[in-house]
Each structure stands twice: as structure tokens, then as C-alpha cells.
Amino acid sequence: MISTQRINSKFLIPLAGVALLASCNGENKAEETDQLNILFIMTDDHTRQMMSCYDNRHIETPNLDRIANNGVIFRNAYVANSISGPSRACLLTGKHSHMNGKKDNISIFDGSQQTVQQLLRQSGYQTAMIGKWHLDSEPTNFDHWEILPGQGSYYNPDFITEQGRTHYEGYATSIITDLSIDWLANERDKDRPFVLFLHHKVAHRNWMSDSQHLSLFEEKTFELPANFHDNYEGRIAAQQQELSIASDHDMDIVNDLKMLRPGVETRLSNSYINGEYNRLNPEQKAAWDAHYQPIIDDFYEAGLTGKELAEWKYQRYMRDYSKTIQSLDENVGRVLDYLEENKMMENTVIIYTSDQGFYMGEHGWFDKRFMYEESFSTPLVMHLPSRFKKQGVIDALVQNIDFAPTMLEIAEIDIPSDIQGVSLIPLLENSEAPVEWRKSLYYHYYEFPGEHAVKKHYGVKTERYKLIHFYDDIDEWELYDLYTDPSEMNNLYGEPNHAEITAELMEELRKLQEQYEDPIREKYPI
């Protein structure tokens, strides 16, 4: 029988601050904190397939890998709801979406509820939030915040502050990094510990790269996923989505792939022309047009259709996405360099993750939402000061509801009993995972009807198996054996030789819904 255990542990690692030597000629002064600093870096839609410490088939990310090389890499990190706003609410509250109230990207996050920054701030931490917020409400319990409105813009972005709007010229990834380093260097009280949420827009649709990276990856042919031309046999919900790279409705040739041409109108062409493209200043637009115009001319001259067009769109998508990750990696490197130069690595825990994973052509898709591995999973690496015992790979099942209790335990703050996640500190203190660590994860996606038409669904995942129920205007179950079918192509639900494991997973799903108090169990009792 599969079981789930809640872990609460006392943080046993001594937390004395690291004193830094100062010299009389004005070199870096000592930072004396009784508690560890926390730098939490989050990106949008960055997936493990595009981070070389997980998968080096496509691109190299040496600076992101630096974080893992000086700490740990989680091989089984997942989210509770694979969509941006709800994922961020899970991070801040340590609770599933039905408990924190942010189920989709339409609802407004209630910032008056208990959050991790509130608890850290009450205990003396300086709290700062810089970059993408995307919770449709004003940030609360931050000493300093400067956020992008909504999804934000890649070029020449506006930011919202307590004083009003501010406009910056440049590329968002670099600007967010500049603002963060400036806060670290000039605005915080260096005698107190801090938590900085450094949240990037990258790599959200429509993947606008920094002009200095426009020529990168143009000669690279990316490996086509084996299931790129998936026909979704036996998976009714997958047949009804709108995530298809091949579909001009789903992946827009102008907005997403920048094939702008007079007279060509698409579903989202006006969004591109009057949106991101319109934000480019004359110098940026000149560089942009010089790069894309030859590609545009070649594309329309070729007149591609069918599989050739779908595979061309895939290569264009992969190149543009990769360029945004290049900028991200370089800017993460700038932050790491600042911390190293100021001798802060020994008293700072660095957490890097994304709000969820993303499809890079698997099943022929882009975007996220489904409980399938590519979007359910998320990258998670941590730099750890030397006082922590664990280094290298961690295989335990972890989830984004665990971030809040982990930060609280790092800060030696009692974890409130209503937080549903568990602290990851036991995984960082020992070479082996605790015997009673959780054996399963719960997932629930709500946003239907909505963009990309992914049906509402919930499910349970263990190390080997996954059981999913699509519900509301559909009633379909899916079962996967991840050992024999890691690409989730063969739905085993209803097969007689899998009846026993199905019954076990049903029982585990029921237990998780009760443990996490999901009211869906009353509508669809198991």
C-alpha cells in the first residue's frame, strides 16, 4: 500500500553568520547576520529539458549549473498546478490552490492571507520582490517591491512600485538583474538577513530574445522529440487541447514566430504588431528587422505545409526559446558573481526554480497545464553553504508547496500547522532521504474553459505510476507506468492486468484529497 507522511523536523544546522573581513582601504565590509540569507530565483515556463545539468541535448546553461554544482539538484521536483499565477500562490503560501484561493490566472490572489514573506518579515528578515509577480494583486509584506504589470514586456518594460509606474529602457532580464543587484548592494540593511524573490519574465511566450543574442542558435538543428507527431490515441483530453505547434491557431506564425509580413493577418498578429514589436525603440527595431527579415522572406517563399511546416515551426520555436534562456543564464551568472565577490555565498541559500515546466515539442506541443511529466515537473537546484551535509542529486518527490516551509526552517521559524507543504531541510541535512518521506504527490488543474483548452483534472503520482482524472465536461481516466512508458503514450486505465495498481492509486488519491482537504472529493467521491 502506498502511503504519504507529513514530515516536520527541527533545523539542526548551526546558523551563525559568516563574518567578512574588511580593510581600511574601503574593501567589502563584514556582513554579520545570525541567520542565513535566502535568494529565491524563479523563472516563467523554464523547463528541465532546457537546463544542461538536467539535459544537455539542446543548450548549455553553465551559470544555472553553477548553482547545482555547489549544492543539490532535485530530479523529482513538481508543481501543484501547472500554470503561472496559481503556482506562485502555492510558493508563497505553502498550500494547494483550493486552499490559497488562486486556482487560475483569472482570479485575484488574496494578499491578506498568511504568506512566507509575512512570516519572515515578522521575524526580522528584510523582504524584497523584484520582477514578475503575476498575481493580479498588490504585493504585501515586502519591504521593497518592484514588479512587472501582468505578464510584463521583454523590451523597455514598465514596472509598478509603491510610488507608481516606472519605465526602463532595455531588456527585461537584464533590468530585473540590475534592480536586484542594486537592492543587494545599496538598499538593504547589511546587518540583517534578507529574502529576495528575484522573478524573471523569461521564458514566457512569445520568446523575444535580447537583441545581442539574435544570431545565436540559428545554425543549430534541434532534436525532434520521438513523439512530436503524436496522434493521442487512447487519450481523449489530449485530443481536445490547443497546444499544438503544428496548428496556426495554437502557435501563431506572427506573434509566436515573428513572421510579420504586410497583408498577413493571424489570430494574434495584432497583439504582436501593437504589443511587443511596437515596444522596440528604433535601434532595437533595426536590429530585429535585420535579423528576421531574411528568415521571413525565405519562409513565405518556401510555402511549407503539413509535416514540413510543423517541423519548421518547431525549429523556429526552439531557437527563439533558447535565446531567452541564454540571456537568463548570463544574468544569473551576474548575480552569482556579485555574491561571490562580496563573500556572501557562505551565508546565502540560493534556490532556483520555475513556476512549472514546459513542452518543447513533446506530444507536438508547447505551453504547460497537463499533469504529464514535461509540464508537471519543474527544475529545482540549490546552492548550499558548506554547513549543509548534502551535495549532488536528490531523488525524493518534492513539490512547490514545500518552498515556503523550507524557507521558514532555514530562518529557524516555526512552521504553521496549516501549511500543507513540508520542509526540504531533512533532505539537505543527510546523505539519504528520510525513511518516512512522502511517496506520492497530488495535482489539480482548474482553468477550463480557458486558453489552450486543457480540461480540468486532478491526479496522483508515485515514483513509478501516475493516475489522472479529467472531469467536469468530460469523465476520462488515464494511468501510466513511467518505468515502461516515460513519454506517457500508452493509457493503461481499464486494462485487467493493471486493476490492482489502479485500486492502490485510487486509494492513495482519496487519501491525498482528504489530507489536503480538496472539496472535489465530495463531487467525485472515490
What is the tally of helices (H) and strands (E) in the chain? 15, 16
Write the pLDDT tens digit of every residue in 145-197: 999 999 999 999 999 999 999 999 999 999 999 999 999 999 999 999 999 99
pLDDT category of residue 24 using cuts at 50, 70 and 90: very low
Could you tell me if residue 72 is inside a domain?
yes
Residues 125 and 48 reside in one and the same domain: yes
pLDDT at 16: 30
- Amino acid 26 reads G
Write the pLDDT tens digit of every residue in 335-380: 999 999 999 999 999 999 999 999 999 999 999 999 999 999 999 9
Residues 174 and 63 reside in one and the same domain: yes
**By mean pLDDT, which of 17-21, 155-159, 500-504 is the weakest?**
17-21
Could you tell me if residue 384 is inside a domain?
yes
Residue 6 above 60 pLDDT? no
Domain count, the chain: 2
Residue at which a domain ends, from 432, 464, 479: 432
Residues 410 and 470 reside in one and the same domain: no
Reduced to 3 states, what is the DSSP secondary structure of residue 348? Answer: strand
pLDDT at 430: 74
Q: Which domain holds residue 460?
A: 455-523
Residues 488 and 377 reside in one and the same domain: no
b/e 187-196 (16+ beta carbons within 10 angstroms → b): ebebebbbbb
Give me the CATH number covering residue 471: 3.30.1120.10
pLDDT category of residue 9 using cuts at 50, 70 and 90: very low
Mean pLDDT of 464-477: 98
pLDDT at 34: 61
Could you tell me if residue 351 is inside a domain?
yes
Position of cell 513556476? 355
Q: Rounded to 5 degrees, what are φ and ψ at 32?
A: -110, 105
Residues 183 and 328 reside in one and the same domain: yes
SS (H, E, C) 317-347: HHHHHHHHHHHHHHHHHHHHHHHHHCCCHHH
Residue at which a domain ends, from 432, 447, 482: 432
**By mean pLDDT, which of 9-23, 116-130, 271-285, 382-396 is the weakest?**
9-23
Could you tell me if residue 317 is inside a domain?
no
pLDDT category of residue 21 using cuts at 50, 70 and 90: very low
Could you tell me if residue 258 is inside a domain?
no
pLDDT at 13: 31
Could you tell me if residue 301 is inside a domain?
no
pLDDT category of residue 387 using cuts at 50, 70 and 90: confident
Cell numbers that stand for 220 in this block: 543549430
Give me the CATH number covering residue 364: 3.40.720.10
Could you tell me if residue 211 is inside a domain?
no
Residues 47 and 193 reside in one and the same domain: yes
User: Residue 43's closest CA among 210, 155, 202?
Assistant: 202
Residue 287 above 80 pLDDT? yes
Residue 3 above 60 pLDDT? no
pLDDT at 33: 53
Q: What is the rounded CA–CA span in Å between residue 317 and residue 308?
A: 14
pLDDT category of residue 389 using cuts at 50, 70 and 90: confident
Residues 179 and 132 reside in one and the same domain: yes
pLDDT at 97: 98
pLDDT category of residue 215 using cuts at 50, 70 and 90: very high
Residues 422 and 500 reside in one and the same domain: no
Residues 384 and 474 reside in one and the same domain: no
**By mean pLDDT, which of 34-48, 299-313, 421-435 is the weakest?**
421-435
pLDDT category of residue 35 using cuts at 50, 70 and 90: confident
Residues 404 and 467 reside in one and the same domain: no
Residue 40 above 90 pLDDT? yes
Residue at which a domain ends, from 397, 432, 467: 432
pLDDT at 436: 86
Question: Within a 13 Å sphere around the CA of 450, how many CA atoms are in the beta-carbon half?
Answer: 15
Residues 51 and 181 reside in one and the same domain: yes
pLDDT category of residue 434 using cuts at 50, 70 and 90: confident
Residues 357 and 478 reside in one and the same domain: no
Could you tell me if residue 192 is inside a domain?
yes
User: Residue 335's closest CA among 177, 166, 162, 99?
Assistant: 177
The CA-based dihedral angle spanning residues 455, 459, 462, 465, taken in that order and rounded to the nearest 10 degrees: -60
